[in-house]
Structure 1
Amino acid sequence: MVDPTDGRRRGRWRVASPLPPPGQLRTLALATLANTVGLGLWLTGSALYLTRVVGLSPSAVGAGLTVAGLVGLTASVPLGGLADRYDPRTLRAALQLLQAAVAAAYLLVDSFPVFLTVAVLDALLVSGNLTVRAALVAAVGGPEGRVHAFATLRAVANLGTALGAGLAGFALATDTRTAYHLLVLGNVTTYLVSAALVMRLPALPPARVSVAAPRAGRALRDGPFLAVSGASAVLSLHWVVLTLVVPLWAVDRAGAPPVTVSAILLVNTLLTVLLAVPLSRGARSAPPAARTMRRAGLVLAAAMLLYATTVGTPTGPAVALLLVATAVYTVGDLWHGTAGAALAYDLAEPAAIGAYQGVDGLVAGLARAAGPALLTWVVLDGGGVGWLGLAAVFAGVGLLVPALTRWALRARSPAATDAVAVATHQSSSL
């Protein structure tokens, strides 16, 4: 298990590496690094591969990915339930082997129906695997270390995605069928490497608790948990702001040169690698996590207002404001991610961590699916008023989270509270 008190040794290690010191978390971090290098490869090159090599139109690719993304959300809860009953290590490795096969199947795509089939299978595995990964992080970290583990893996994931994106640049620069095929095979390889690394972890059977496991579907009927998860999902729309709205706004409305978009994403990536773990401290349980979520909402709101001020500003100051706003945004983003993970873990039934992570992922996925159309309309069409409205939403939702969390804590059954104590005791004795 992760020892959250081992701060001195971790501090020395981080001077030289973003990876944690040797142990189970380091093994999981290496698996995450391999997995996200592949993610960076595919995210960077997939659109060009599907249009320039396969021959699909951009609208067909967009429509197919939208449908696949929505269908993929249905795997989140069932696979989360499986992670509650079986070893999440073995389950994640098996899913990654399936992902490797599906990733290789992109080499066989030659029409829209085949593309849609492969994309749906890919989305189902991605959605389910994210839920299983959350259960695996909880098993490796234990109740006291899982938020730290989540933050560590997030920093590593950003590093891996950036490395993958950089490697994909060689394929894009070459711009040949062979180069794109090698990019696909590189993605396949990273799944295999990640699965092999995951299997180096010891078996992690579900923790035994002294209370009966909750009935199937309990997470979907847990109103207070859904309320907290829904609030977090609303705040998660900030990711659509960074990846879609800000690039369009920076170039089309603020008049910044296109290279500014790369600088914005680079600032976000570097700060995430550097700050993800330090900003996760103090949010291991629900009450402090709720306060962190409140801060996240207010900081994200401030970032939205900073983005709005770039209109009508000369190019130099506008670029500077965009980068400052992104730095502020990243702090809010990291606080939100840490607090959301802590709340999703701590408010879950201890015997159904996987199922609750599945529901949390489902709610967040629905918000992300609606985000692009909603936010481009609100901000790009609404201008300054749109940014102001979005800032008000982020601030209001953040301020609401502590009250929702208190409601969720009051609604927890005595049996669930007892199970938390048992699970905590078991993890501390391992």
Structure 2
Amino acid sequence: MRFAPPSGPLRTLALATVANTVGTGLWLAGGALYLTRDVGLSPTSVGAGLTVAGLVGLTASVPLGGLADRWDPRTLRAALQVGQALVAAAYLLVDSLATFLVVAVPEALLAAGNLAVRAALVAAVGGPSGRVHAFATLRAVANLGISAGTALAGFALALDTHRAYQMLVVGNAATYLLSAALLLRLPAQAPGGAPRRAGVARRGGPLRDGWFLAVSGASAVLGTHVTVLVLVVPLWTVGRTGAPPPVVSAVLLVNTVLTVLLAVRLSRGADTAAPAARKLRRAGLVLAAACPLYAVTAGLPVLPAVALLLVATAVWTVGDLWHGTAGAGLAYDLAPPGAIGAYQGADGLLAGLAQALGRGLLTLLVLGGGGVGWLVLGGLYAAVGLAAPALARRAVASRPAPEPTGAGQPVAPG
């Protein structure tokens, strides 16, 4: 299977994504250990600091996304990544909780804003008919980059020395600079993926677009599947099934491999709101179907439990991938043509809030409730998925009518 997209802007964007996500993998695998084992912060302080920084960072999503509706998103994203490189390198100066927060808060602000700008850039590169495909392609290559970064971080973690942790920090910062340099190889992009036209964008922006927020909120609830997979499932695997800790790596590897293999294939048919909403419904039902599979593993012997964990994760990953492309298709198509960045920022804001709240609530629900907790979670996912098409229809019906272009052709929505 050929993973690299054909030569052109999407391939350049894919290379920039790989560079960026190698650094993501480095930091995901080693950042917490650097801050606790090398800097000397307590795990509680790191967790609390990251939570505070993450919530503050979400406030940048809509404003920086809005900038991408007025400026070239390629140049804007490259500038943000240079800023991220400087902040990432500043972790070398952290020596207390106070300095940690001084670095973590701007890092979170830049990261949240960069996600919205990235979405606007993907829309500009892919165009209305290719942006969901581009999103799925970049998701596949991002998994490759994160996996490579995680593997590289293993060397620093094995050495467990001050110098090794410093190299990890420097490596993360360097990947931002490399990614920014690659982004500047792209041609200049039209802001927001489409020109502004009077009467198309809603007054007050995305945060006053109630039906868009309802659809995006439904997608955000289903998006908590990420928290379930990376936090709840590992704790369930070790604590409730009796499986050895290495099984957690096998579970996550199943998700990674299937994402690389299937992300592009499962992205088809989500370019406009109606089919994307149906795919979101399908995602909710598939995630719901995986929940009882996870629940049953607690009552099985270890080997059957491990086998069922892997099967459940494969099912979960299909729902994960359908959700990702459906959510992207809806967020793109329901946005006015001149406000894609701002609307992507609002979508990211709701997704971030759901993830922040979900860490505690989902852990309490599943680990505290056991099998019943899994069934409640499955019921929630099914209900939200089933509601998605109706919400999307209301969102489409509430959009202002497009105005004709100078050539007498209507403006295509989203």
What is the TM-score when the length of structure 1 is the normalising length? 0.93
> How far apart are the structure 1 equivalents of 2:304 and 2:53?
41
Secondary structure, aligned partner of 1:343: helix
**Residue of structure 1 aligned with 2:114, choices 107, 115, 129:** 129
Higher mean Cα deviation, 77-86 or 17-26? 17-26
Higher mean Cα deviation, 197-206 or 131-140? 197-206
Secondary structure, aligned partner of 1:350: coil
Partner of 1:231: 218
> How far apart are the structure 1 equivalents of 2:364 and 2:310?
23
**Residue of structure 2 aligned with 1:304, choices 273, 282, 291:** 291
Cα 1:210–1:69 change in 2 (3 A) is closer
- Is structure 2 residue 281 aligned with structure 1 residue 283? no
Cα 1:58–1:209 change in 2 (3 A) is closer
| Structure 1 contact 349–416 (Cα < 8 Å) conserved | no
Partner of 1:93: 78
Cα 1:416–1:352 change in 2 (3 A) is farther
Q: What is the CA-CA distance between 1:417 and the residue it aligns to?
A: 9.0
| Structure 1 contact 34–193 (Cα < 8 Å) conserved | yes
> How far apart are the structure 1 equivalents of 2:13 and 2:228?
30
Secondary structure, aligned partner of 1:214: coil
> How far apart are the structure 2 equivalents of 1:222 and 1:215?
7
Q: What is the CA-CA distance between 1:415 and the residue it aligns to?
A: 2.8
| Structure 2 contact 13–183 (Cα < 8 Å) conserved | yes
Partner of 1:314: 301
- Is structure 2 residue 365 aligned with structure 1 residue 373? no
Root mean square deviation of aligned Cα: 1.6
What is the TM-score when the length of structure 2 is the normalising length? 0.97
**Residue of structure 2 aligned with 1:266, choices 253, 270, 273:** 253
Secondary structure, aligned partner of 2:198: coil
> How far apart are the structure 2 equivalents of 1:409 and 1:213?
13
Partner of 2:244: 257
Secondary structure, aligned partner of 1:257: coil
Q: Please give the residue correspondences for 1:112-191 in structure 2 after superposition, counting only pairs within 5 Å.
A: 112-191=97-176
Partner of 1:413: 400
Cα 1:261–1:128 change in 2 (3 A) is same
Q: Please give the residue correspondences for 1:389-428 in structure 2 after superposition, counting only pairs within 5 Å.
A: 389-415=376-402
Partner of 2:21: 36
- Given residue 38 of structure 1, which amino acid in structure 2 is its aligned partner? G
Partner of 1:339: 326
> How far apart are the structure 2 equivalents of 1:215 and 1:131?
18
Partner of 2:9: 24
How high is the sequence identity, in percent, across the aligned residues?
71
> How far apart are the structure 1 equivalents of 2:128 and 2:410?
11
Higher relative helix content = 1
**Residue of structure 2 aligned with 1:55, choices 29, 40, 44:** 40
Cα 1:422–1:50 change in 2 (3 A) is farther
Q: 4+ residue stretches of structure 1 with deviation over 3 A?
A: 212-217, 416-419, 421-425
Q: What is the CA-CA distance between 1:398 and the residue it aligns to?
A: 0.2
> How far apart are the structure 1 equivalents of 2:404 and 2:384?
27
Q: For each residue in 1:79-138, what CA deviation from the matched residue of structure 2 results, as whole angstroms up to 9, or x when unmatched?
A: 011000000000000000000000000000011100011000100000000000000000
Cα 1:417–1:165 change in 2 (3 A) is farther
Q: What is the CA-CA distance between 1:282 and the residue it aligns to?
A: 1.2
Cα 1:166–1:423 change in 2 (3 A) is farther
- Is structure 2 residue 239 aligned with structure 1 residue 245? no
**Residue of structure 1 aligned with 2:198, choices 211, 233, 240:** 211
Secondary structure, aligned partner of 2:298: coil
Q: What is the CA-CA distance between 1:288 and the residue it aligns to?
A: 0.5
> How far apart are the structure 1 equivalents of 2:273 and 2:281?
12
| Structure 2 contact 202–209 (Cα < 8 Å) conserved | no
> How far apart are the structure 1 equivalents of 2:74 and 2:299?
53
| Structure 1 contact 73–362 (Cα < 8 Å) conserved | yes
- Given residue 51 of structure 2, which amino acid in structure 1 is its aligned partner? T
| Structure 1 contact 213–352 (Cα < 8 Å) conserved | no
Q: For each residue in 1:16-41, what CA deviation from the matched residue of structure 2 results, as whole angstroms up to 9, or x when unmatched?
A: x4121111000000000000000000
Q: What is the CA-CA distance between 1:227 and the residue it aligns to?
A: 0.4
- Given residue 189 of structure 2, which amino acid in structure 1 is its aligned partner? L
> How far apart are the structure 1 equivalents of 2:223 and 2:330?
14
Q: Please give the residue correspondences for 1:355-366 in structure 2 after superposition, counting only pairs within 5 Å.
A: 355-366=342-353
| Structure 1 contact 87–204 (Cα < 8 Å) conserved | yes
> How far apart are the structure 2 equivalents of 1:246 and 1:135?
32
Q: For each residue in 1:303-348, what CA deviation from the matched residue of structure 2 results, as whole angstroms up to 9, or x when unmatched?
A: 1111001011010000000000000000000000000000000001
Q: What is the CA-CA distance between 1:214 and the residue it aligns to?
A: 3.2
**Residue of structure 1 aligned with 2:91, choices 98, 103, 106:** 106
> How far apart are the structure 1 equivalents of 2:19 and 2:165?
19
> How far apart are the structure 1 equivalents of 2:404 and 2:237?
48
Secondary structure, aligned partner of 1:415: coil
Secondary structure, aligned partner of 1:296: helix
| Structure 2 contact 263–321 (Cα < 8 Å) conserved | yes
> How far apart are the structure 2 equivalents of 1:357 and 1:226?
11
